[in-house]
Amino acid sequence: MEIQEAFIQTPLGITVIKGNEGGVTAILVLNGDATAPSSHVPNSLKPAVDQLQEYFAGTRTTFQLKLNPQGTDFQKSVWRELVNIPYGKTISYLELSRRLGDVKAIRAVAAANGQNPFWIVVPCHRVIGRDGSLTGYAGGLWRKKWLLEHESPYKQQSMFA
């Protein structure tokens, strides 16, 4: 089955969604806006496009997509655990390692987290440093900060228009 692509505009830049009837294989934010949004979205990718748009609109907190990840068994185990981090919550890399059963594997867990092919849908942005710092994010720390603020139950209202 041929992999299809759709490009969508998000508040954080152009995002490419890849996949086919077998499932979504990747959702990645692109650095730079040299690519235009798709004028046609393949039917197999429409649920992912719709759900991402709902997420950015603030009406979706979980995703129901058929994912078809490509990676090692270890990476897939990390990505499966990431899905268990609730919307609006964060955990540390150490806690993620603990949940996977080996605190000594923290570097490997962090590396697998960084290789996550499903931007937002598998919420690697919810993993932070033990001291609360925003560390390591392939999409850029400014995007990680934006996503965590977007998901925060304590959204600040601006006093200025």
- Domains of the chain from N-terminus onward: 4-57 (no CATH), 73-151 (1.10.10.10)
pLDDT in tens, 89-135: 999 999 999 999 999 999 999 999 999 999 999 999 999 988 888 88
pLDDT at 33: 64
The set of catalytic residues is 124
User: Which residue ranges of the chain lie beneath pLDDT 70?
Assistant: 33, 154-161
pLDDT at 133: 86
Beta-ladder partners of 128: 92
- Rounded to whole angstroms, how far apart are CA atoms 105 and 90? 19
pLDDT at 159: 46
pLDDT at 119: 93
- Rounded to whole angstroms, how far apart are CA atoms 76 and 82? 10
Average pLDDT, the chain: 91
Closest CA to 24 of 16, 14, 34: 16
pLDDT at 155: 57
Name the one residue in this structure whose structure tokens are 């655990």. Answer: 81
pLDDT at 140: 85
Contact 19, 45 (CB under 8 A): yes
Return the SS3 of 28: strand
